[in-house]
Amino acid sequence: MANVVQVTDSSGTRGLPRPSATLVLLRAGRDGVEIFMLRRPAAQDFGNAFVFPGGCLEPADDALAELCSGLDDPEASRRLGVARGGLAYWAAAIRECFEESGVLLARDRHGGLLTPGSALEASRFADYRGLLLAGSLSLADLCREEGLTLAADQLTYFSYWITPVAAPRRYTTRFFAAAAPPRQAASHDGRESLEARWLSPRAALADEALVLPPPTRHALRQFAAAGDVAEALACARRLLRAGVHPVLPVVTGQGRAARVSIPSVDDDERPEGMPHG
């Protein structure tokens, strides 16, 4: 069972942030490392914000964790600092990434990373994605049909954010980083996101037209100095080794005057919400 962080707000009622997972997908670009980003629809939570693929854990993610390879639940739970159920976060991150980007971090029957070798094979997995989004197929069913395991060992855990207590919807979000597999094309799904871009961290941070929630902005800053994918993943591993501690922003003021202060993080943003990415 995935761990739920319980936080007591100022009124004395207990808030239960929903467990969620976000995946920072990396690739080599012309000017260095690029990160896959999605724009949420205006009518949804965090409308028009650019975020990373991610979302809430689902009950099926506990069983999906049994299909993970390269990492077991005791080690995953140790990294997250939970008693058990940690591997469900890795499974959820992979599932959400496939649903929202079409990129599936998995291993085939021979143990190699999934890399569609033909347009026909790529089209087949695009069809699988559509079935998942329609609720007609589960990722576990897909894995059994194709003889796949989820490549949990390809994800590096590096950050942990909890939505401010004052927010109407709250999440406890674990951030992961992974290299995009070769020959898998990423795209938005047209429902939970309306636009997709591969951007260098520096370009995303410099573009004042992009709405970047505090966790997203902070993650981009963490990878901004990376010259390539290998350096970005090395940065994520250093953050894990140094110890990942929860970041719980505090909201002061109300309405347009409200500000989010982030303890231990050099950031101070107007609250655009705290999304999964």
The Cα angle at residue 72 between residues 186 and 158, in degrees rounded to 5: 55
pLDDT band at 9 (very low <50, low <70, confident <90, very high): very low
- Residues 130-181: tens digit of each pLDDT: 999 999 999 999 999 999 999 999 999 999 999 888 778 889 999 999 999 9
Q: Is the pLDDT of residue 265 over 70?
A: no
Question: CATH fold of 7-269, please?
Answer: Nucleoside Triphosphate Pyrophosphohydrolase (3.90.79)
Note the pLDDT of residue 157: 99
What are the Cα distances from residue 27, in Å, to 10, 62, 218, 224, 227?
A: 43, 29, 19, 14, 11
Note the pLDDT of residue 272: 39
3-class DSSP state for residue 189?
coil
Residue 138 CA to residue 119 CA, distance in Å, equals 23
pLDDT band at 67 (very low <50, low <70, confident <90, very high): very high
Q: Is the pLDDT of residue 277 over 60?
A: no
Q: Are 38 and 22 in contact (CB under 8 A)?
A: no
pTM of the model: 0.87
- Locate all alpha helices (DSSP H) within 181-213, ordered by sequence: 201-206
Residue 211 CA to residue 249 CA, distance in Å, equals 18
Residue 98 CA to residue 76 CA, distance in Å, equals 21
33-37, 38-42, 59-63: which has the minimum mean pLDDT?
38-42
Residue 43 CA to residue 48 CA, distance in Å, equals 8
pLDDT band at 6 (very low <50, low <70, confident <90, very high): very low
pLDDT band at 26 (very low <50, low <70, confident <90, very high): very high
46: left (phi over 0), alpha (psi -120 to 50) or beta: left
Note the pLDDT of residue 225: 94
